[in-house]
A and B are shown apart, each in its own frame.
Chain A
Amino acid sequence: NAGVTQTPKFRVLKTGQSMTLLCAQDMNHEYMYWYRQDPGMGLRLIHYSVGEGTTAKGEVPDGYNVSRLKKQNFLLGLESAAPSQTSVYFCASRLQEYTDTQYFGPGTRLTVL
């Protein structure tokens, strides 16, 4: 039982390049989340999903897209990366609506030059 895993761990992009971050969970959780963490700021929600095939916007969704084609995977895409998207990205999952704890992955450190 690996829990929540994220790929890749590190990535450096040039402005304008695109990439996809992969989050996978093996706990059969319905809910999945993407957060970003920046120095001096709390974790901020980018997008989330309440089940396979669903996605919704969080607090800071601009510049990102997501997809949840399979229950166990949640993808975060950057179509045209900008330096402001330099951050550490965390994926989290939660079992269902009436269970509360979110479990986090190890993070992806992204630098956009």
Chain B
Amino acid sequence: EDQVTQSPEALRLQEGESSSLNCSYTVSGLRGLFWYRQDPGKGPEFLFTLYSAGEEKEKERLKATLTKKESFLHITAPKPEDSATYLCAVQAWAIGAGSYQLTFGKGTKLSVIP
């Protein structure tokens, strides 16, 4: 069974204090790893897709990296507007479904204090 574990569950940072969020996974036949941002009362918003170990992608203050067992979302000099829940999901072939499916972690709630 595919599993995705995100840590920490919640993280409070001072504005400008860089940190990392972790997503560890066990999956058979990883096709891709996704990061989404979710604001309160909104749907998940796509951030990144990573396909192979060693791959990195950046967007503004965010950088996502991937190894064979985990992914990190690095947040450099965060601002209050970066406060959100960050979701990690792995995409793999679901044999019973006959298509690729996403398995989500529970998310990390990030709060950036001015």
Contact = CB atoms under 8 A, between A and B. Distances in A.
A97 B100 contact: yes
Interface of B is mostly: strand
Q: Which bucket holds chain A's interface residue count?
A: 20 to 34
Contacts of A97: 99-100
A105 B107 contact: no
Contact of A43 (B91, B99, B100, B104): B104
A65 B104 CA distance: 22
B46 A101 contact: yes
Nearest to B42: A106
B46 A103 contact: yes
A102 interface: yes
Contacts, number: 54
A50 to B, nearest CB: 6
Contact of A45 (B43, B87, B102, B106): B102
Contact of B106 (A40, A50, A56): A40
A62 interface: no
Contacts of B36: 104
A92 to B, nearest CB: 8
B74 interface: no
B99 A42 contact: no
Interface in A82-113: 90, 97, 100-107
A62 B102 CA distance: 19
A48 B45 CA distance: 19
A42 B101 contact: no
Interface of B: 4, 31-32, 34, 36, 41-46, 49, 87, 89, 91, 97-107
